[in-house]
Amino acid sequence: MMRIAYVNGRYVPHADAAVSVEDRGYQFADGVYEVATFYNGILVDGGLHIDRLLRSLSELGIPQPLSSRAALQHVISETIRRNGRANGYIYVQVTRGVASRDHVYKRGMRPSLVVTVSREKKVQAKEIQNGTEVITRPDIRWLRRDIKSIALLPNVLLKNEATVLGKREIWLTDENGYICEGAVSNAYIITKKGVLVTREEGVHLLSGIVRHRVLALAREAGIKVEERAFTAKEAESAAEAFLSSSTGHIVPVVRVNDKQLGDGKVGATFKQLFALYVDSIEVDTGYRIWTV
C-alpha cells in the first residue's frame, strides 16, 4: 500500500511530500516534533505526546498548527488510517512556517505541519535477553533539552559515535559530571539497594513519555524511585541499568564505559519492569510487543 503523508492540509503520496525551501524548519531548525508508537491503530500514551508537543510549541512561541487539539488528533488518526498500517510509529513535525530567510521572525506566521507514518520497530530479542552497552560523553546540546526541538545535530553526532564504537547509546553528562539522559533516550540505574534512579525533570533533559509509564509502573510495583542526578561513576558501579524511548521501549544495560554491572547479566528488577511494561501496552492497545 502506498505511504501517505499529511502536509499542510493535504494528504499526499509520501514520495511527493514537500515543504518550501524557505520553511524555517529547513533554514533554522525552527520547529518541534513528536514520535509516538501505535498498535492496532491506537497511539500509546497519545494524550501525553500531544501535551508535550503543545508545550514545546508554547515554549518557542509557535502557534498551534490547527484550530484545536481535536483537529490535530483527527489528522494523526486519519494519517494512520490512510496508510493502512495497524502497527507502527507516527512522526509529527511543526515549524514556525515559511518566510524570507531572516533570524528575526514575524508575528502571525502560519505554522507548517507534517505528519508521516513508518513501520513498527520490533523489540530486539538479543538486547532484551543479553543487555546492551552505553558510554558517557559531555553534553554538547543547547540548554533547553526539555523542548523537543528538531535541532538534533548534536544528538546525530553523538548517536553516530556510539554506533561506530559498537555501543547502543551515549549517556550525556552535564558540566558537573551528572548524567542527563542519552542521545536518543532516557537513562536509569538500579542501585545495589534496589532503588530505581533517574534524573529529575528540568531543562537538562527531555522528559520521555515512556519514562512516565516506567516510573508509574515501578511505583505501583513497590519499587523505590528516586528522581535525582547521578554520576557516570555511580552508573558504572550500579547493580543494573536501562534506557527508554518511544520507539525503542525499554532496554537493559549491562556495561557502562566498559565497566560490567553486577554479574553482567540482565537483572531481576529490569525483568520485572519489562514484564509490567509489556502487559501495560497490551492492556492499552490489545497488542503484545513481546512474547517469551
d(CA 34, CA 218): 25
Instruction: Kindly name the residue from 126, 148, 167, 224 that is annotated as catalytic.
Output: 148
**What CA–CA distance (Å, rounded) separates 36 from 46?**
7
Calpha distance 30→39 (Å, rounded): 30
> Is 126 one of the catalytic residues?
no
What angle separates helix 46-60 from helix 209-220, to the nearest 10 degrees?
130
CB distance 28 to 120 below 8 Å: no
Nearest residue to 210 (alpha-carbon basis) of 270, 147, 280: 280
Q: Are 98 and 22 in contact (CB under 8 A)?
A: yes
Which helix (DSSP H) or strand (DSSP E) does residue 182 occupy? strand 179-182
As annotated, the active-site residues are 148
